[in-house]
């Protein structure tokens, strides 16, 4: 048997079978993940991940500070921050001519911390 076929055989069952009690118990729970992909989609972009990480380090940052920290233009920072706000991950407030962003809730901060801990293990 070739190496590629050997690798394939460890990735799937060699016979078709299901465990009805497991399928019956878990199937109704699957609907709970609806919408979760939006969070991971937002965080899957390297620039947005850097922005969110920066936002977890302070209570809030203005768009100009985010741009400087991540080494991008203010227009690019503004675009990504707007997307993060639209996706429900960040929130903003305007103070005079400045716009400040922050992480919408601690769950996002927790996700980022857990991901970084996982990466460092």
- What are residue 93's DSSP bridge partners? 100
The residue ranges of every structural domain in the chain are 17-120
Q: pLDDT by residue (tens digit) across 60-113?
A: 999 999 999 999 999 999 999 999 999 999 999 999 999 999 999 999 999 999
In this predicted structure, what is the pLDDT of residue 13? 82
pLDDT at 5 over 80: no
Mean pLDDT of 33-59: 94
- What are residue 98's DSSP bridge partners? 95
Contact assessment for residue 56 and residue 106, using Cβ atoms and an 8 Å cutoff? no
1.10.10.10, 3.40.50.1820, 3.40.50.300, 1.10.10.520: which CATH number matches 17-120? 1.10.10.10
pLDDT band of residue 1 (cuts 50, 70, 90) is very low
pLDDT at 52 over 80: yes
């Amino acid at each position: 048997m070739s190496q590629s076929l050997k690798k394939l055989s460890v990735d799937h069952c060699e016979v078709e079978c299901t465990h009805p009690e497991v399928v019956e118990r878990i199937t109704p729970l699957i609907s709970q993940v609806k919408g979760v992909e939006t969070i991971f989609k937002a965080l899957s972009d390297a620039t947005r991940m850097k922005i969110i990480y920066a936002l977890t380090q302070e209570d809030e940052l203005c768009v100009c500070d985010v741009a400087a920290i991540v080494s991008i233009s203010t227009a690019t920072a503004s675009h990504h921050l707007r997307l993060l706000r639209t996706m429900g991950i960040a929130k903003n407030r305007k103070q005079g001519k400045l716009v400040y962003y922050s992480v919408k809730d601690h769950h996002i901060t927790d996700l980022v911390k857990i991901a970084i801990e996982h990466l460092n293990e």
